[in-house]
Structure 1
Amino acid sequence: MGVIGARYRDLSRHDARHAGQAQHYIGRALALRDPDRVRNRVFDLVGFARAHLITCQPERAAELIGMALPDAAPWTSRRVGVKLRDFHREAGAFATVPAVRDAREVVAAKLAV
């Protein structure tokens, strides 16, 4: 379900009407995800956050990134890092929102390591 949600999120970058479907599928994936699948959970959280940016919910996006970051550290040099960089770039439109500014700073610090 997380992959389906991610594809809807990709579509929503071109047509924001798909962002709700992205949130639905990624939210379901998170609810059903085996807690031992930590890397997949991190992907879901980052994707969920990015979908919330598209629906102009930057505070929720920052909250979701905050949930992902503690477990993201081992993978920031790989695909998780790419997704975090995508979040950082996409969240730039909301950089004046304090929660987003803080999340972007933490993401940048994690990626600098």
Structure 2
Amino acid sequence: MLIRIVRMYFQADKVREFLDVFENSKHLIRRFEGCKHLELWQDANSPNVFCTYSHWESEAHLENYRNSELFRTTWAKTKPLFEKKPYAFSVKLNQVVSNLQ
């Protein structure tokens, strides 16, 4: 299991537009092969900062999504709304659990 977190910084006047993009694509992303979970988080102190939090069966499933037409079209609508470059990282769930034992 792979967990992917993407922190995105939007122009303040573009937040509503981003929320519309997310609302229109979230069900498609959730149904994408290998996607097990998807949430959108809003920063408690910065209302123009959001994170997507998603679970993927494997890194290969995430890469298939990132190379898909769905990702390309969603990203093309999202990217112009950024205030600055997003920050993304992945962790393997089994590694996190193993390190806690």
What's the TM-score once normalised by structure 2's chain length? 0.34
Task: Write 1 or 2 for the structure with the bigger share of strand.
Answer: 2
Which has the higher Rg, Structure 1 or Structure 2? 2
What's the TM-score once normalised by structure 1's chain length? 0.31
